[in-house]
Structure formats: C-alpha cells, structure tokens
Structure 1
Amino acid sequence: MRKIDSIQNALQALQPEHLEVLDESHMHSRGQETHYKAVIVSQQFAGLNSVKRHQRAYAAMGDLMREVHALALHTYTPEEWAQQRVVPASPVCAGGHK
C-alpha cells in the first residue's frame, strides 16, 4: 500500500466530511513519500484550538507518523470550511538538510 493511502486510511478515524492528502515530496530534496499536506474537515474539531486539532490528527496517524518527515495539517470544522474552502500554499523547500 502506498504511504499516501495509509495516511488517508488513518485519518478516517476523524470521520472527515472532506479529506485531501497530497504528496508534496516533489517540492523537497529528501526524496519520495516524505512530505505531505492534509486538509481535514471534521466536526470533531469543533471547539478545539489548532494545537488540539493537530494532536487529534497525530493520534489518528499513530505509528505512521514515524514514516513521515513532514505533515502540514490544515484542520477545519465544516462551518469554517464552508466559509473558507481555500488552503494556504505550501512553502518552497529551503533545503535545510544539506
């Protein structure tokens, strides 16, 4: 199974109304299947700040987080997503590991 599929499966624990997982490894010099962006829309995020939302996503990922170098999380409630529907662009890699 591809890592992106494993990430999508793991994040289903959050019962997302919308889930988008993108492999952004091509934007970085570390290689393939290392950098991801996840857009998660879930009612489970209601009343939680961004730290608590991210903690829920990391908990859903479990041991899979050990296999991912970077995971950019964009977490929204359904109401927030209905108003926004736009995710910030990912930054260009600065190549800091060289």
Structure 2
Amino acid sequence: MVTSEDIKKRLETTLSAEVEVIDESHLHAGHEGAKSGGRHYRVKLKSARFNGLRTLARHRLVYDALAEWMKQEIHALAIDAAEDTTEDAS
C-alpha cells in the first residue's frame, strides 16, 4: 500500500519539488473508493518544472509521476502545483 511518504519521495525526486502530502482518507469514510482500498490525498508542490506551464500541464506532470499508483492505491488526488520562481530554482 502506498503511503504519504512514498508519494512525497516520488514527487520530490521526479519533479525536483518541495512537497507536502496530506492524507484526507478519513474525510471520505464509506465512499466507494475508500471501500476498495483507494486513498484520498491532497498534494501541495512547488517546482521550477512548473514555471511557465498552465495548470493542466502541471497536473499532468504530477499524474505521470504517480501513474502506477493512480490505478488502485490512490482513489482521489487534489493538486496545488505552484511555480518556483526563486532565483536559485533550477
């Protein structure tokens, strides 16, 4: 089973991002996705990889990074993906 820490590490590595992962599964108890074992997560990311990209393109990068888990382990994913415009961001 995938954990918040697994998601965090994957996104940090794949997108060179600052990442916060919040497991919101307890808010969805009894929901169909929860019954089958899928979890609900919220991710907040900041990455230079998002610079100049529209929201949809940023979300696609996140979904691509987590693709193998989106099939079963992650039922729902809320994404807040921000640009990293600090001077030393690469």
Q: TM-score, normalised by structure 2?
A: 0.77
Whether the 8 Å contact between 1:7 and 1:64 is mirrored in structure 2 is no
Percent of residue pairs bearing the same amino acid type:
35
- Structure 1 CA distance for aligned equivalents of residues 64 and 58 of structure 2: 10
Task: Give yes or no for the alignment of 1:40 onto 2:45.
Answer: yes
| Bigger strand share | 2
Counterpart of 1:90 in structure 2 is: none
Cα deviation 1:2-39 (Å, max 9, x = unaligned): 521221122121001x2100000111123476100000
Given candidates 67, 70, 76, the residue that maps to 1:70 is 76
Match of 1:14 in 2: 15
Q: Gapped runs of 5+ residues in structure 2?
A: 86-90
Runs (4+) of structure 1 moved beyond 3 Å? 30-33
Alignment of 1:83-98 (within 5 A): none
Q: Which residue of structure 2 aligns with residue 91 of structure 1?
A: none
Q: 1:58 aligns with which of 51, 56, 63?
A: 63
SS in 1 for 2:81: strand
Structure 1: tracts of 5 or more residues without a match: 80-98
Matched to 2:25, the amino acid is S
Q: CA RMSD in A?
A: 2.0
Q: Which has the higher contact order (CA 8 A, sep 6+)?
A: 2
The TM-score with structure 1 as length reference comes to 0.71
Question: 3-state DSSP class of the match of 1:69?
Answer: strand
